[in-house]
Structure 1
Amino acid sequence: MNFEKARFNMVEQQIRPWDVLDPAVLDLLMTVKREEYVPAAARALAFADVEIPLGQGQVMLKPVIEGKILQSLQLHRSDSVLEVGAGSGYFAALLAARVEWVRTVDIEPELVRFAHANLARNGVENVIVEEGDAAQGWASRAPYDVIVVSGGLPVVPQALLEQLKVGGRLFAFVGEAPVMKARLITCEAEGRFLTEDIFETLVPMLKNAPRQDSFRF
């Protein structure tokens, strides 16, 4: 398989037509080698427009979804990032190429090991992979400039919002089947948030996602 040609086709035929037009994001998706982060048995699907199963009920998101998240977050080199759901480590690697540091947390020990091994093998040094339940955030290292929740949430918990710096951005998939909102929340001032729904999709629910309606926009 010609990985470089497949990567180019992924960007030009899948991601760009979805109105992901930020040159920095497109360059990033061309640079970080997605095939290095997929399970070995699924390597031929690395650039396909599909979710790739990782085990434990988790998946790698579709490339178009990853591109839309990156574009909406408008990352800065000085940003500190919390990723809820490490998965394969690929999205953490994308984030790490644009920000100061990333802390990615997964509840599944197997995926923590998988993500750590993938990131280490690819020389990504500004990502810390930790095991734990971050459905309510990871308060010990808060506040963050950016929080990305890689699985679905019925509602956005107040605890997550409280871990954003002023000016910080949170991206989450909010709702339940059959459709979720890909939502960007910006902390405009202490206790004040701006919400924008970017697109609709459906992703696997985050394990231990809080279901009580503790906070709703």
Structure 2
Amino acid sequence: MIDRPTAPYNHILIYISGLPTRPLTPPSKGPDAMDLSTARQNMITHQVNANRVTDPLILTALADIPRERFLPRSLWGVAYADEDLPVAPGRALMEPRVFARLLQAAEVEADEAALVVGCATGYAAAVLARLASAVVALEVDPALAAKATEALTDLGVLNATVVTGPLAEGYPDQAPYDVIFVDGMVPKVPTALLDQLADGGRLVAVEGTAPIGRGVIYTHEGQGVGRFAAFDAVVGRLPGFDPQPRFRF
């Protein structure tokens, strides 16, 4: 078992300057650390708390982890906006209020193992790593997986591992999982993911097809799996979950 980190992550801004021979107009550096810290707290107050997320461990993790680190530098100024933010063609970081609501619904315990399906650049994995004992972060895009690995390493996240593979198949090599977090919208959660839940395990996802979606919780108990639709939500879709067309004569 890997111990989860207990201290806040630190991030350092490094500026390299030359020795100009005449006055130069300094380049724009974008928002500074203080601006981003204020935006992070405003996100928690006006988006997360306002959406009935009150778990103190989740709120602390959201306050400590720099969401901007998982975005292109050009988007740092809107890192804490209440919307999905693009990280690659067809891929996005989930909007904060839905992300936090799903996390709270998962009821993650400190001694549990978690799987993130569609981790993109790794933000969900970083937050879950503060709540769970160990996290497997599954990504289908090798370029995004590399960015996730780099970001998690830079932030000193030691209990999350990034792996690559088809998202709809999950990652059975490390199953079963106490928590599965589907980091995007899918038409329907496939049986292959539900089969990787431990007894008592929970899977949270947004199911549907835009513009209609629901935040759902699946719970594995004994020989059965229950489903509860908790709230309305629409977020960016994950690739690889569209139903296969049926062959017709």
| TM-score in terms of structure 2 length | 0.81
Q: CA deviation at 1:198?
A: 1.7
Between the aligned partners of 1:212 and 1:80, the Cα distance in structure 2 is 31
What's the secondary structure of 2:50's corresponding residue? helix
Relative to its length, the structure with more strand (as a share) is 1
CA contact (8 A) 2:116 2:125 kept: yes
1:199 maps to 2:236: no
Q: Percent identity?
A: 34
Structure 1 stretch 93-102 or stretch 19-28: which is displaced more? 19-28
**Could you list the runs of 4 or more consecutive aligned residues of structure 1 that deviate by over 4 angstroms after TM superposition?**
none
Between the aligned partners of 2:225 and 2:174, the Cα distance in structure 1 is 21
1:123 maps to 2:123: no
Query: Match for residue 21 of structure 2?
Result: none
Structure 1: runs of 5+ lacking an equivalent: none
Question: How many residues in Structure 1 have an aligned counterpart in Structure 2?
Answer: 212
Residue in structure 1 matching 2:109, options 76, 86, 90: 76
Query: Match for residue 178 of structure 1?
Result: 211
- Matched to 1:24, the amino acid is L
Structure 1 stretch 11-20 or stretch 133-142: which is displaced more? 133-142
CA contact (8 A) 1:135 1:210 kept: no
- Matched to 1:47, the amino acid is Y
What's the secondary structure of 1:181's corresponding residue? strand
- Matched to 2:243, the amino acid is R
Choose 1 or 2 for highest CA Rg: 2
Q: CA deviation at 1:203?
A: 2.1
Q: CA deviation at 1:143?
A: 0.8
Between the aligned partners of 1:185 and 1:202, the Cα distance in structure 2 is 18
Structure 2: runs of 5+ lacking an equivalent: 1-30
Query: Match for residue 169 of structure 1?
Result: 202
Query: Match for residue 91 of structure 1?
Result: 124
Query: Match for residue 135 of structure 1?
Result: 168
Structure 1 stretch 94-103 or stretch 154-163: which is displaced more? 154-163
CA contact (8 A) 1:136 1:210 kept: no
Query: Match for residue 37 of structure 2?
Result: 4
What's the secondary structure of 1:97's corresponding residue? helix
Query: Match for residue 157 of structure 1?
Result: 190
Q: CA deviation at 1:205?
A: 2.4
Q: CA deviation at 1:204?
A: 2.6
Q: Deviations over 1:129-152 (max 9, x none)?
A: 111112121112111111111122
- Matched to 2:238, the amino acid is L
- Matched to 2:105, the amino acid is S
| TM-score in terms of structure 1 length | 0.93
Residue in structure 1 matching 2:63, options 27, 30, 35: 30
Between the aligned partners of 1:128 and 1:29, the Cα distance in structure 2 is 20
Query: RMSD of aligned C-alpha atoms?
Result: 1.5
